[in-house]
């Protein structure tokens, strides 16, 4: 009985750790950048595949996509991307793709004075799933 009491908390902690929640992020090349707006989610039906965030700092914006452990650990390849949306359109110059990458940062955009969203995609099963943050102006 005593062993079971020690194992159950360990199992519960490991389940929480693998729930797929994104860890702290740091924008490459701009330590002062902070998340702005809400976190968006990439979903396949009711299953969350990834988180999408937008960051601002150093006079620029970045999009960030984090593929949750629960999806990234599945067999097979997946692809992920992060891009900025500016005034409602994807800025393809900021788009960055990754193969089996859980964390993808977009290229920076000098769009602090414009209306922007972070945009992210995950694909690999023949379908593209996407999500975005709220718009920040």
Q: What is the pLDDT of residues 93-127, one digit of tens each?
A: 999 999 999 999 999 999 999 999 999 999 999 99
Which pLDDT belongs to residue 109?
Answer: 97
**Domains of the chain by residue range:** 20-132
- pLDDT beneath 70, residues of the chain: 1-24
* Cβ burial 71-105 (10 Å sphere, 16+ → b, else e): bbeeeeebbbbbbbbbeeebbeebbbebeebbbbb
Which pLDDT belongs to residue 117?
Answer: 98
Which pLDDT belongs to residue 25?
Answer: 86
Which pLDDT belongs to residue 22?
Answer: 46
In the 8-state DSSP scheme, what is residue 100? S
pTM for the full predicted model: 0.82
């Amino acid at each position: 009985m005593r062993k079971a009491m020690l194992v159950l908390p360990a199992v519960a902690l490991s389940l929480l750790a693998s729930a797929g929640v994104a860890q702290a992020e740091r924008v490459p090349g701009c330590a002062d950048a902070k998340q702005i707006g809400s976190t968006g989610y990439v979903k396949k039906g009711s299953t969350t595949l990834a988180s999408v965030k937008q960051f601002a700092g150093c006079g620029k914006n970045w999009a960030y996509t984090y593929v949750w452990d629960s999806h990234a650990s599945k067999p097979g390849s997946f692809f992920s991307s992060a891009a900025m949306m500016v005034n409602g359109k994807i800025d393809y110059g900021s788009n960055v793709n990754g193969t089996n990458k859980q964390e993808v940062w977009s290229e920076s955009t000098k769009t602090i004075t414009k209306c922007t969203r972070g945009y992210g995609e995950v694909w690999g099963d023949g379908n593209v799933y996407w999500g975005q943050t709220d718009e920040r102006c």
